[in-house]
Amino acid sequence: MITLTIDGNSIQAAPGTTVMEAALAHGIDIPRLCYHPELSISGNCRLCMVEVEGWLNPTISCSLECQEGMVVRTQSAQLTAIRREILGLLLSDHPLNCLVCDKAGSCILQKYAYEVGLAGTPYPVEVARPLHQDDNPFFIRDHQFCIMCSRCVRVCDEVVGAHAIDIAGRGFHNHIATPFDGPMIDSSCVFCGSCVQVCPTAALLPASRKGLGREWELDRIKTICGYCGVGCEIEFAVKDGEILYARGTPEGPVNGEFLCTKGRYGWDFAESPDRLTQPLIRRDLAYALGLTDTPWALPETSVLEVEKPNIEDSFIPVDWDTALDVTATKLAETVQTYGPDAVMGLASARCTNEENYLFQKLMRLGIGTNNVDHCARL
């Protein structure tokens, strides 16, 4: 292990550890924009400058390997002046839209401007990238807020493996682009939103949240994704009982902060008007039970031929007691007439352990059969 000193603290670090990593691991916060712990080092923002005793000039800590006996300072008047200068330059190219910006409150540029007390920029303002692209329903690309940190480019290549975007152009007029600036859908983008996840500013925003709530108004609720078997943790941002957007967090035990397109954007099914909201009894059974006066028979054409089923055509709504009593009665009649093995149960790979446990208990103990299966085979 290497021993070095950061801000007066004696710190042990494994060989190969950077000063940024060592500092963060010991709760010493170094300002940073382009650095992300899951991505390669870019070193383009220069905000993480530190002073090393005996070195002539400050240097960036994200790419600086710890050395034995190194003495590092992360805060000084000189460093604050440098960081103010860098932030001032970034703001000369970034609209100060914080009053109406959806990212306000979680924007990292705003956070550091606040910390160094920068209300604006000393430089003439010229927005280099006025491009606003909302060519898909997943996310909005508003390039005027982009600070060219390249986190999005790196996550797309290094983690997702899609490499749908890269830096195009040179100098002041460079920007993040798909091949030939084509629409996102024509690129290799898989719409996982990992770029949105790591974007420090409002350059990349979930389309679902635009204008619907400020960061500090949102409740954050973590749960596990309901799609495939990977079991990613998702943090939902909820306002007044409605989901505004979803994101990952670094604490996700399986996925860290990364998600796929279904996990990050596929939650709106729950708010579909097609959701079942009350118990239903099919009209022929309802007639037999005296719940309706109109006789009815199930059409013989395949249900797959029905383009969009209309619930009222085939079912009548009932209360829970009626539905549960009819169900229990019919199952009991089948058991009494034909025996327990005349009943089968299909449990669900999309329900919880507790629900599936109770389901097989019902089939084995309540009905008395091992005819209980689910789509593990399908």
- Please, which of residues 310-329 interact with another protein by CB under 8 A? 311, 314-315, 320, 323-329
Count of residues that interact with another protein, criterion CB under 8 A: 124
List, in order, residues 6 or more apart from 60 with CB less than 8 Å away.
43, 46, 48, 49, 50
275 binds another protein per the rule CB under 8 A: yes
Q: Pick the stretch among 8-16, 86-94, 173-181, 268-276 that binds another protein (CB under 8 A).
A: 268-276
CA distances from 339 to 159, 245, 336 (A): 55, 50, 6
Site for another protein in 202-261 (CB under 8 A): 207, 221-233, 236, 238, 241-243, 251, 253-255, 258-261
Site for another protein in 103-142 (CB under 8 A): 136-138
Site for another protein in 165-184 (CB under 8 A): none
List, in order, residues 6 or more apart from 332 with CB less than 8 Å away.
none
**CA 15, 17, 19, 21: dihedral to nearest 10 degrees?**
-150
Q: Pick the stretch among 8-16, 74-82, 87-95, 304-312 that binds another protein (CB under 8 A).
A: 304-312
Q: Which residue has the tokens 């009350």?
A: 278
Q: Pick the stretch among 11-19, 80-88, 90-98, 309-317 that binds another protein (CB under 8 A).
A: 309-317
341 binds another protein per the rule CB under 8 A: yes
Q: What are phi and psi of 122, to 5 degrees?
A: -75, -5
How far is Cα 84 from Cα 202, in angstroms, rounded to an integer?
21
If the CB atoms of residues 43 and 366 are measured against another protein, the closer one turns out to be 366
| Among the listed residues 98, 168, 212, 331, the single contact to another protein using CB under 8 A | 331
CB of 188 vs another protein, minimal distance in Å: 9
265 binds another protein per the rule CB under 8 A: yes
| Among the listed residues 35, 112, 191, 245, the single contact to another protein using CB under 8 A | 191
Question: Which of 318, 370, 314 lies closest to 339 in space, CA to CA?
Answer: 370
Instruction: Assess contact for 359 and 372: CB atoms under 8 A.
Output: yes
